[in-house]
Structure 1
């Protein structure tokens, strides 16, 4: 399951408070999207002076933005090299996805009794969008991810546990980069099948079955991600 950052796209019932983002937060958001789009491939250095020129701000907000991204696991700070986009690490991916599997499963178990017709309709709408872009190479990984994230956001907020939602969102932001770098069309189709099974269980309000499917779903994504990382490393 993805995070709930895009759930507003389906008119989610989750609260959407209006807030003013600091300049550093705005820079961090833009830079993270550029990293996800592959504009800064793994191993790329992120010098503060160059970023300040690119974003048209002073180095103070850049430094704070890099700190925010480092805290989220999007970049690393290395001695004598500064900020850098990290290479995919199989051990980190495995640990990250294993924890996500447990929390996603728990979220689905909690959400199942609250998955009313309105919430299910939003999720089904998202599933139809996923089907439409499954075999469309013009749709990027981020396009697919945005819709998938919206579906997951509806489910997560139905869990009624804001602490769990926040923790999942934090973990999922760290997983975004791996998904964007290694997602393939074949995995999109498999992902849709997983979502169909999960939504069927949630529609029946079967929390136990939904939990099992969600855990299996994340484990499958983990295994495919690790396979692609190892394949890329062997070719590099």
Structure 2
């Protein structure tokens, strides 16, 4: 009996793509500094001294300088001629612009998800709200910043709209800088009451009430910045 050899299908040719590039020192330094800025460990307005960072990281000043310019491009650092480099600050004018975009975005986000809210939505939102409350009561600055961003990210994640989520992620660094600057206000009963109100309306029956709550909540964020910064523009504002 004759045997027939099965021929294996030929493997498709791989598409063109770039080889993996090892992470550079500049990238590692930039990522570490980004985390320190967005966690508030490098406080807004603090001066960044290149030589001190180079010694602390154990690298050349050139590597630190490249990382600094990357963060300047991302508007997390500000270079002031004849003065130095500083962690970016924000002011009410800037946050009004950011929160105007965020307000429109968030209203659209809730409009998309409103009729799809279910038990999983309530459970996860409740979990994130409880985590925020615990972090604030513990007076842990870093945990509070992370928990607040995690709490407000949930509607964008649940909406399952990649465009909405992408725009939120682009805004999140600027919003997180605002969280960093308003930490003295975060650790108060009024902050927890406001967060609770936002959460309860987000679980309620009235979409129009949610839209109004978004406006109210974001205006409180701008007011918090006004309490900390004068009405005049901050020098080197982002």
The aligned residue for residue 105 of structure 2 is 103
- TM-score by length of structure 2 reads 0.72
Aligned length in residues: 212
The aligned residue for residue 208 of structure 2 is 208
The aligned residue for residue 218 of structure 2 is 218
Of stretches 81-90 and 160-169 in structure 1, the one that deviates more from structure 2 is: 81-90
Q: CA deviation at 1:71?
A: 3.3
- TM-score by length of structure 1 reads 0.72
- Equivalent-residue separation in structure 1 for 2:21 and 2:163 (angstroms): 22
The aligned residue for residue 189 of structure 2 is 189
- Equivalent-residue separation in structure 2 for 1:163 and 1:103 (angstroms): 10
Gaps of 5+ in 2: 1-19, 234-238
**Structure with the higher fraction of residues in helix conformation:** 1
1:146 to 1:40, Cα distance in 2 relative to 1, 3 A: closer
Maintained 8 Å contact 1:46/1:84: yes
The aligned residue for residue 67 of structure 2 is 65
Residues 159-193 of structure 1: CA deviation (Å, up to 9, x unaligned): 22222222222222113223213323566533333
1:43 to 1:186, Cα distance in 2 relative to 1, 3 A: closer
**Structure whose alpha-carbon radius of gyration is higher:** 2
Give yes or no for the alignment of 1:169 onto 2:192.
no
Of stretches 111-120 and 35-44 in structure 1, the one that deviates more from structure 2 is: 35-44
- Equivalent-residue separation in structure 2 for 1:36 and 1:135 (angstroms): 20
1:119 to 1:224, Cα distance in 2 relative to 1, 3 A: same
- The structure 1 segments of at least 4 consecutive aligned residues displaced by more than 4 Å after TM superposition are 36-39, 58-61, 185-188
Residues 10-64 of structure 1: CA deviation (Å, up to 9, x unaligned): xxxxxxxxx9994444322321332345554444432444323322344555344
Of stretches 143-152 and 53-62 in structure 1, the one that deviates more from structure 2 is: 53-62
- Equivalent-residue separation in structure 1 for 2:116 and 2:66 (angstroms): 39
The aligned residue for residue 120 of structure 1 is 122
1:55 to 1:99, Cα distance in 2 relative to 1, 3 A: same
Q: CA deviation at 1:216?
A: 1.6
What value does the CA root-mean-square deviation take over the aligned residues? 3.2
